[in-house]
Amino acid sequence: MRKSKPSQSISPEAQEPASEHQMEPTSPPPPQKKQAQAKRRRRSPLRAGLAVMAGRTAGAVSRRLRFGGGTSIVGVVAQSVYPQIVEHLASELEHGSLVISGTNGKTTTSSFIAAILRDGGLRVWNNREGSNLAGGVASSLVIRAKPNGHLRRSGRAISILEVDEAALPQVVSSVQPRVAVFTNLFRDQLDRYGEVDSVLTLWQRAIHRLPATTTLILNADDPAVAQLGRNFAGRVLYYGINDLALDTLHQESSIERHQVMDARTCPHCGGEFIYQARFYSHMGHYHCPNCGLERPQPDIAASSVQVDSFDRMRLQIQTPLYTQELVVPLPGLYNIYNALAAATAALALDMDWEPIVSGIEQSKPVFGRGERVQANGKTMRLLLAKNPTGFNEVLRTLFTDEVPRHVLFILNDNTADGKDISWIWDVDFERARGRTESLVVAGTRALDLALRLKYAGIAQDEIQIIPPQPLRAEKNELAARNRANRRNKKIPSEATEAGIRSYGIKNAIDQALDQTPLGETLFIVPTYTGLLEVHRELEQRGLTPHYWEGGNA
């Protein structure tokens, strides 16, 4: 297979020495140079060492007391001791840092890039042990630092940092990444992020803080993301899908009817976009009839997509100089975009094509994103769905081939999920009608989701509801029964015990597994904290490692 460097295949202006780390401008104007020198003077190895020791001690105490993995707290404590700890440690990485942000696809894209770079011979560090907030990013560096305040094994090393949308400005100002990848922008957690325009403002602020030596990797098919490249002084590379066979505008009307459009209007003039092709939501080929703004031509594009099986898609990837084949071992159209983003980022880092192919093809599903768990001859597949577009694409992936599925839906409204769950009315649950062998609904808002499914045309007797706890009336009735049993000295009836047993995630998993025959698959589709609950239960059963211990986090 032909080897190709990105400097040869993407654009002439991309030809830069492979040894250049692009961490800071080589000859900044005098004010910038003074600022850089001032920052270096403020760095303190002594304070860094104290921060590392304090953070790692806090993590050890947290694990000993079983408060969790003791990961995120490492960075929080270290930053409280030395606020510049991230900047201090990140500057020691020989190959710098890469950051990834977006509504959906961050974790999978990060996993793809990590696998590619490892196959390319680099030592890869990422923040899988902690969160994607600023504290988690700090943790990923602190846990790899020595007590003297310096990174261990920083040679041939690069950090890949998955960053929360709202935390991006703070992180990039500290890390100064070589490459910044943006996957997509959808409506998500309105009570935390607000509308997509609010997130765009944060991202624009973050990009304004990037040096001109940073390369932006942008999704050409997402008009909200593509506009981030306007007026950026550094290099910008776009990726997208050119296979018009995937266009939903010319497919069955039910697919198009339930597409949620989160970016309808031109950011330049306010005119409404016209789409020549749309793949899902607002992702596609678009232009503004008022001012002429249009989708950028991708530097890396999927010209052909062939679905071989549920877990295997074959892509033809086009660059300006060559066409190559790439196999994506995960389901869903959204994973095509994740693979394209990863390939574009790898080429921007001067990787050959061979590690791109091997890294992506050999990747395993990551934490809750298609992850497989075996249980007594049955398979569980965990498919995170945390917003309308993500849920629609999971349903589309599950039910495209008309095969009836065994499904467990989990809807929570905890802080990390977003308190407002009205978005479920924008989800195409009608797709599931008549296509489930068994259907269990659980979570803190199980009853709300069951109602939505009923309106989708799914018969009530086909839905098994497992609420998180009994309703007040049920609690009162159960307490009255127990009091009567004690007065009459009766053993609790099976009905009473069943009433106690039929609540919570543990029982929801048991009920859903009981209805799944041997050799078949139960698809668990949770929101974020529901995924954490499921994983915690599976960890307690010894079916999967803790998320901070394995490669799934």
Phi, psi of 292 (to 5 degrees): 90, 0
3-class SS at 305? strand
CB 396 within 8 A of CB 431: yes
Phi, psi of 390 (to 5 degrees): -60, -40
What type of residue is 325?
Answer: E
Dist. CA 289–CA 67, nearest whole Å:
56
Which residues, 6 or more positions from 306, have their beta carbon under 8 angstroms from its beta carbon? 313, 314, 315
CB 379 within 8 A of CB 416: no
Pairing mode, strands 312-318 and 323-328: antiparallel
3-class SS at 400? coil
Structure tokens at 501: 């047993």
Tokens 């990060």 -> residue: 110
What type of residue is 231?
Answer: N
Dist. CA 540–CA 9, nearest whole Å:
49
Q: Looking only at Cα atoms, what is the longest distance across the chain?
A: 89
Q: What is the DSSP letter of 480?
A: H
Structure tokens at 143: 């846990």
Helices first, then strands: H and E counts in the chain: 20, 17
* Residue whose C-alpha is closest to residue 383's, from 219, 531, 537: 531
3-class SS at 115? helix
* Catalytic annotation present for 188: no
Residue from 420, 428, 448, 514 carrying the catalytic annotation: 420
Indicate the helix (H) or strand (E) that contains 374: strand 369-375
Tokens 């990105």 -> residue: 6
Active site (catalytic) residues: 420
